[in-house]
Amino acid sequence: MPITIDSFKAYDIRGQIPSQLNPDICYRIGNATAEYLDAKRVVIGRDMRLTSAEFADAVAKGLQEAGVEVLDIGLCGTEMVYFATTHLSADGGIMVTASHNPADYNGLKIVREDAKPISGDSGLADIKALAEADERRTAPEPGARTVSDIFGEYIEHMLGYIDVDALKPLKLVVNAGNGCAGIAVDGLEPKLPFELTKVNHEPDGTFPNGIPNPLLPENRASTADAVIEQGADMGIAWDGDFDRCFLFDEKGGFIEGYYLVGLLAESLLKANPGGNIVHDPRLTWATLETVENAGGKTVQSKSGHSFIKEMMRQVDAVYGGEMSAHHYFKDFSYADSGMIPWLLVAEMMCTTGKPLSELVREKMAAFPASGEINRKVDDAHATLQRLYDAYADKANSVDDTDGYSFEFDQWRFNIRMSNTEPVVRLNVESRADEGLMSEKTAEVLAVIEA
C-alpha cells in the first residue's frame, strides 16, 4: 500500500529506526532501485550497526524479487561498495549505513554503474516515488544472492596509489571508532612497513566508545592522546563507514580537512602534471595557491558529493576535495575514499622526511580559517539575504556557486544553507592574519544572530 517515506535526504537515505526506516521500507527501496536502474546485477554491503544485516536482507529481497542478481560483499565500508560496483561491472550498488549518525539511525547510499552517484537531483526522488507507491516489480524467477569476495582486489587497488617501496617505518595511531575502517586497515597492514596502534578497532554497532564522528571536537581526544602516548608520527580516525578520514599530526594536533585538500592535490599533480583539481567554495585560498604553484588548474563546484563527482567527470579532474574531509579520486571512479588520503600523506612524509605538522604549517599560517560554524536560524533564506545586503556592496566579488562567498582584500567568507535543517553554515578565512579572521568571524556571526 502507498506510504510516505521521510528518510530520503539530499544525497542519501537516513532515518530513525523503526519509524523512518525499517525492513519494509528497505524492501521497497531495493525493489524500486531495481526498477529505476532496470538492473540485472547490484552490489550490496553493510556496516556494523545492529540493524544493518536485517536491512541488507530486506534490500536484497526487494532486488531479488525483481529478478536482480545480488552480489553481497558483506561487512564493509561505503567505498568498498563503490569499488565492487565498478570492479564487478554491476548496474548499481547499495550500502546499508548511517555513517556517523546516532545508534538508533540507519540508512542507505545508492549508486548506479561505475559508482556514479544517485542523489536528490539525479534519481533519488524517482526511487522515493516508486518505493512510496509500492507497485512492486516481480520477475518470473527471483535473482540469486551470491557472496562476492572483492577484498583482496580492493586492498591491491588501494596500494596502487602509492609507491610501497618508498615507504619507511612510521608509527601510526589508527582509530576506527568501532566502525568498519578496521577491516580495511587489517587488510593493508601486512603490506606496509608501519607500526600501528589500534584504538576502538573492532566493529561494534553498540558504539561502546561513542558515535564515530571525529569532526566533533569532543571525539578527538582518544586519537590525539594515543598519538602523544605512543610518540606516533600521525593519527588517523574515521567515521563509521570510513568514507571520510581525519588526520592528527605528531603532536596530537587535529588537521582541518581544508589544509589536506591542497596537500593531496599537490601529491596527485606530481603524477598528473597540469591536471584539474575540483574544490568546494567554502574555503579556497590555500587550495588555489597550492594548486597554482604545483602547475594544476582549479575548478570550483557546489559542495556535496554528487556535485563534486559530476564536476570531476565533466572536467576529467584527477582529484576533488572538500573541507569536510571528503576526498575524491579519478582512478577510484571519481568516488570518495577514506583510505587513499592517509596512504598518500604517509607516503609524502616518507619521501620528504617532513612530519605532518611541517607539511601543513605554511598553509595554516598563510590562510587561518574558522572551521565550519553552524547556527540554527528561523529563516535561512532571510539570513542569507541579510548578509548579502550587509556585505555585497563592500566586497571585491560575490560568488553564488553555493550560498554566497564574499571576498575582500585580506579576508573572505562563505555562508550556505543546510539541505535538511534550518541551519546556516559559516566559514571564514584571512590572509596570514588570525586576529582579523577571528574578528570578522565574530562580526559575521553578529549579523547572523541579529
The residues carrying an active-site annotation are 99
Here the cell at position 119 is: 542523489
| Other Cβ atoms closer than 10 A to 122 | 16
Residue entry with cell 553552524:
374
Q: What is the CA radius of gyration of the chain?
A: 22
Task: Report which secondary-structure segment, H or E, holds 406.
Answer: strand 404-407
Check if the beta carbon of residue 87 is closer than 8 Å to that of residue 50.
no
Query: Cα–Cα distance between 280 and 297 in angstroms, integer?
Result: 14
Residue 52, C-beta contacts closer than 8 angstroms, at least 6 positions apart: 46, 96, 97, 106, 205
3-state secondary structure 124-171: HHHHHHHHHHCCCCCCCCCCCEEECCCHHHHHHHHHCCCCHHHCCCCE
- Longest Cα–Cα distance of the chain, Å, equals 69
d(CA 285, CA 367): 7
The dihedral of CA 124, 130, 132, 134: what is its sign? negative
What is the C-alpha separation between 175 and 405, in angstroms, rounded?
35
User: Do the Cβ atoms of 290 and 263 come closer than 8 Å?
Assistant: yes
Residue with cell 545508534: 103
Q: Is 163 exposed, middle or buried (0-12, 13-18, 19+ CB in 10 A)?
A: exposed
The phi and psi torsions of 129 (rounded to 5 degrees) equal -65, -40
Write the DSSP string, 372-388: -EEEE-S-HHHHHHHHH
3-class DSSP string for 231-259:
CCCEEEEECCCCCCEEEECCCCCEECHHH
Residue 90 half-sphere exposure, CB side, CA atoms within 13 Å? Answer: 29
**Angle at the Cα of 55 from the Cα atoms of 54 and 56, rounded to 5 degrees:** 90
> Would you mind telling me the total number of residues written for the chain in this entry?
450
